[in-house]
Chain A
């Protein structure tokens, strides 16, 4: 088994203690049990994995619009349910079908937008340093490929909200 260093240790470590500590931190009633307190603790789900997982799930389950932050205004913008679901499919590594066309259009319709679609599918299939960096680069390229006067739409901002979890 080719075990690699943990990726998104948050999720794993988060899970790690939950059952374990439940077993070990509580003395039995009367058995004089020997077990002890906090075993390993829980990884922090504040960034990276948790943000990725949570947003992916939110996008996939979107029935209406989903609010995502707009760094330019400091406020929020709304991405439509259809675009959110399309992005959700990308982030679960779902091979291209209709959702890719929807996403590409939402990302600006450029060739860079198409590359971003591919990068997000790769990221969804396997989150590792290479796919994360590639997705961020593809996102930046898609933003820069927008025509003059055009600013990123809600679709790109939705992607930004996901990727920003990896950049702290």
Chain B
């Protein structure tokens, strides 16, 4: 029996079509494999910030270390510029039970000198149902005077995807409560034994920048955060602090910068 060419072609197409359709159908499940240098830059580049002044629920794990400084043109109370320097590390694993963060800060480093006033902070944190949950203690005096009594806080943070694509694709929400330095300005100035609420939210503008609004101690801060260098895990965050002047002068300019490593 002779088969006509069109019939052979039709038969071939019939046999080939399902596999072609299937292959095409499976494509939707596949993930692009990023080039090694792209992955390296993604991971080497720090992520822009989600909070400007409020603590958050996420934290480092064992093997993470970090350092940074902050500068404010007009520090509250003095009107003079000042800065601090901090180093810290993570311990344990928040993905299993909990992580622990420990930070040492040289306070008032520009005016008072490095190490003249040192405070410690610690935070236990874990991840649960997509939230970062942390409980921390800050302002523990180690050397010289601290700015305030030790303060305890709890924070919950969640990041969420807004849309696909490289721009405006994610946001975050952070909420917490604490005493001491987390009290509202009035309560701090009157030294009332109360607790304060802090809230912050951010919008990721692109892979290397974000915009932040932060409400802490009754003061509102607006900030932009940048991870400017492709292969260096540096974060720089300029901010306008205390828009309403809860602690005196309004809209104090500050900038923070930090880097972190894994060993």
Contacts and interface: CB of A to CB of B under 8 A. Distances in A.
A72 B26 CA distance: 9
A45 B238 CA distance: 19
Interface in A49-85: 50, 53-58, 61, 71-72
Q: Which of A5, A20, A61 has the most CB of B within 10 A?
A: A20
Interface string B86-106: 101010011110010101010
Interface in A11-44: 11-44
B33 to A, nearest CB: 5
Given A36-B254, A130-B36, A16 B88 contact: yes
A9 to B, nearest CB: 4
Interface string B23-59: 0011011111110100110111111111111111011
Q: A-B pairs with the 10 shortest C-beta distances?
A: A40-B258, A41-B49, A36-B72, A19-B121, A39-B70, A44-B47, A46-B170, A37-B254, A18-B55, A27-B76
Interface of B: 18-19, 22, 25-26, 28-34, 36, 39-40, 42-56, 58-61, 64-66, 68-72, 75-78, 80, 82-84, 86, 88, 90, 93-96, 99, 101, 103, 105, 107-108, 110-112, 119, 121-123, 125-132, 134, 136, 138-139, 145-148, 151, 153, 155, 157, 159-161, 166, 169-172, 178, 181-182, 188-191, 202, 204, 207, 210, 212, 214, 216-217, 221, 223, 225, 227, 231-233, 235, 237, 239, 241-242, 247-248, 252, 254-263
Given A29-B148, A44-B210, 9 more contacts: A13-B66, A18-B123, A19-B121, A21-B55, A23-B105, A28-B147, A44-B172, A57-B126, A143-B26
